[in-house]
Structure 1
């Protein structure tokens, strides 16, 4: 993500320009189904990466935030690892990736006029060690009172499906890489390594993702969540023609989003 920040600076500058002042009511956030005495909580603005909150709380407590305007955010739940993968002792570079803390993350949309309460939970009750041992990564958010938030979750689910497909593809390419090494085929192993590395680093989504994305925008053309994700795809790909149809069908409340104005200013002249 850092590699694309430089050419996305105009977008981020516009983000600050259109972020109008508004009265902000306290937002309630809570964590459920994690059986631990306490966890770390970090809240980050999704687009500009600004950290808004970072503290340790009792895992069953509710905490209040008074500075969350309507927008997309990232919640990180973290704690000191109780289980250390055996690879950490074999590879120092792996050690850097594993880190001292285990993190669960969840992107979520906040719409104060619809809901002031956001409850995050795992599918079942887990201890921290069970989460680590089973490599559990999924965190849900209760968005029953916020339609825009629910639509945003649908878009994020589409991303999750894409990354699952991407992980399978990378695993297949890695397997081909190791097989070519076993067969002492240096040229093929080099080709397979480059392919796997290219797929891992690519910011582009696949055709199935695009089909599902277009369908979601068509289903929710009046949602501000749709506007955000059209903006987000342009943020990543900088290809307006690819997403012009999705942009053109936005209507109603979707046009009130600050991200609509940013897209229009940047592309639709």
Structure 2
């Protein structure tokens, strides 16, 4: 609200300072009228009048020069995940004493051919920290190559041997590729798990179970395919 007060015939004061009324009262007269009673009025010089005028008029606030704040550069921190599949491949042995037990087991079950044997799937969790960054690397591997045991090949065009060999190589492929189909799950453990080693124990069990299912599926599929005539595998012409 504006605060108004009349002095010597109508000078109006507002929150914005002294203003000249319609009657044309000079600001000097107004200032003189505000002096205490009994004081002798001194003539106001033009310079003094200007100073008094400046004191009554609102002074613009000085704008503070704001210096641009430099953005604090924070070190890039985070968690990095790595997944590695260490593939040692396979080796093939045939016609030696190491395969005798394979031959005996196959014959006892009424099966013909060779065998692909691999050690259980293993894993290793490696955690490294540098500054505020953290890297969780998970390696999935088998400690040895998959061992393929084969009978002796009977000549260059032994279709029985070739059929058995391709059969065992498909088992090798299934064993080596199945873990890689779980890469997204393994990466999720590396990125999010607070106990990746414990999580990997359960996941390894799932991978091995899926590997066994795919081997069984392959056998069922192959059993529906008739071998070429005269090329059905038997033990009669196999040498171990």
Higher relative contact order (CA 8 A, sep 6+): 2
More helix by share: 1
More strand by share: 1
TM value normalised by structure 1:
0.30
